A and B are shown apart, each in its own frame.
Chain A
Amino acid sequence: MARINLNRICARLGLTAAVILLLIWSLGPIYWSLVTSLTAPNEMMTGTPHLWPPHVTLEHYGKLFGASSQSQGNEVQSVWPQFSAALLNSVITSAAATVVTVLMAAFGAYAFVRLRFPGRDTIFMLVVATMAVPAYTVMIPLYRLMISINLIDTYLGITLIYVSAFLPLALWLMRSVYRSLPISLEEAAWLDGAGRTYTLVRIVLPLAAPGLIASAILTFLSAWGQFMVPLVFSPSLATKPLTVLIPEFVTRNYVDYGLMNAAGVIAIVPPVILVAFLNRYLVRGLMAGAGK
């Protein structure tokens, strides 16, 4: 009896240790980034790490949001206009990409599942197959195309590119969601005289809400984190997102890691919120999306 208890305690301890290890691994760097963003510059340059800054300072955030900033010992113009512009761009492009992608996937996947039209299955296969094509293969001609139709550095151009990138996965997700819904519900609606579109909007979509939410979350996170595409297609602050602006801080100043980490912390606030509150949908979406 005692030996079994010992085994169980060892197993428990092992499990707990493993969980702690996993938490440190997953959350450690984020925590360290937060700590750095709150550390005063002179304490950062000491070479001995502290688990919590000896003197918490908000000066780095102050530089981001404040009326003035520091550069090479001079007080310079605030970084806020550029930071706020980039933040707004990130929000707008990610939100636009999400809305358009989810709408198109919601209606399109329904068409691919329930409606019959010529070439239905081939088109679907082709669209989903584009997930195997890496982004950079199409980037250069896409760049030249966008130049010729004057959509470089516009919200419309960026949104279109994001939609073309994220639509296949969203379509796949929504299609598997629709397939799992029993057709009897829709048939009942048709018998009552409802049209196809009406059935879709009023009956199917509410039932497919978890899938819609999962697609929206996945698309938003992917768009929020995009780097190479806006690096090429958003050269100026008209559409430049946070992900492109923050590495520019690296080149600005020598070791202003406090500012960079502060900017990084702000950039991860939306994903953290999404994960904290909508985790269930996200995980379900990932699992379903992986079932290829």
Chain B
Amino acid sequence: MSHFEQTKPAPGTRHDVWLGLGFAIPIIVIMGGLVFVPLASTLWDSLFRIDPMRPGTPFVGLQNYAGFLTDPAIRQGWYNTFVYVVLAVILETVGGLGAALLLSRIKYGRRWLLAALVLPWCLPPVVNAIAWLWIYNPSYGLLNGALHAMGLIDQNIVWFNSRSTALFLVTVVHVWRMMPLTAIILLAALQSIPQDLYEAAKLDGAGPIKCFRMITLPLIAGGLAIALSQSTVFALNLFDEAWVLAGPSLDTRTVIIQVYMSAFQNLHFSQGMALSVLTMIVSLIISALYVMRVYRETSYD
């Protein structure tokens, strides 16, 4: 034993440090160069006017931010984003919880059911949007066709004419994709609840609803919080679905579509950067709120 200790150095701290740094440096370079530096650049450059079509980049202070409160297009974008977030989170959580409860009760073929459940999440969002765009088509789409066949409508409805149905239908496509993620998070949480709690409750004569309220809900609170924060962040970043389904139409325009349009269609880079900074702050605040709640909840455990 001591023979080996003398001939080969045990993995020592100095060797560790170089090796560790060696593994970590590529990560630091990539993340630093492609995330942190651009992030700092966004914050700094949003204070200038940067427009590739115009010469010079003068300092304009907070002027890029000032326009946001007055520009009706951007206000509409915020409103739309808010609606998406609220609707998406509610639908995904309720649907995801239902799917998770269902899956936790299935014994046979759970693997295949899981595969089917997860599939919408794995597909490119753009392809989903195109499939649903065809379903929503006023003249030949499945939605109108099915409703017609069921006798619920007698005339084809142009769904994207009305702001509320447009927002709702875009949300449906987004929820279709994101619900599996919520379902899986909640399923994992459900599976961590010990079965004997339920048995004890049944012995005490509790019905299924009481079991749910008293045992299930509190014990999946952590998973619920994670699912809620994930849903919110993804809904805040909704781009692909709204863009393919309705393009630049103001009804369904989210804040990040506005960022894309300002920066890459109208080439007002600094305006786009200012808007994205604002959105990032909102997103971070919401994430922080959730994280704090989770810490509070789990600290009770």
Residue numbers of A with Cβ under 8 A of B are 15, 18-19, 22-23, 25-27, 29-30, 32-33, 36, 44-49, 104, 107-108, 110-112, 115-118, 120, 123, 126-127, 130, 132-145, 160-161, 163-164, 167-168, 171, 190-191, 193, 195-197, 221, 224-228, 232, 242-244, 246-247, 250, 255, 257, 260-261, 264, 267-268, 271-272, 274-276, 279-280, 282-283, 286-287, 290-292
Contact = CB atoms under 8 A, between A and B. Distances in A.
A161 B130 CA distance: 26
A123 B260 contact: no
B26 to A, nearest CB: 6
Interface string B115-148: 1111110111111111111110101101011101
B277 A112 contact: no
B35 A133 contact: yes
B113 A112 contact: no
B123 A268 contact: yes
Nearest to B21: A117
B237 A116 contact: no
Contacts of B300: none
A30 B184 contact: no
B17 interface: yes
Contact of A140 (B126, B139, B156, B263): B263
B213 interface: no
Contact of A196 (B4, B19, B102): B19
A264 B119 contact: no
B134 A196 contact: no
A151 B106 CA distance: 50
A134 B102 contact: no
Contact of A130 (B35, B102, B114, B125): B35
Contacts of A112: 24
6 shortest A-B CB distances, which residue pairs? A115-B20, A225-B124, A117-B20, A111-B23, A164-B34, A141-B41
Nearest to A142: B38
Residue of A126, A167, A267, A283 with most partner-chain B CB within 10 A: A283
B184 A120 contact: no
B34 A161 contact: yes
B272 interface: yes
Contact of B273 (A117, A130, A140): A140
Contacts of A290: 181, 184-185, 188, 223, 226-227, 230
Contact of A134 (B27, B140, B283): B283
B244 interface: yes
B280 A287 contact: no
A268 B128 CA distance: 10
A137 B24 contact: no
Nearest to A128: B31
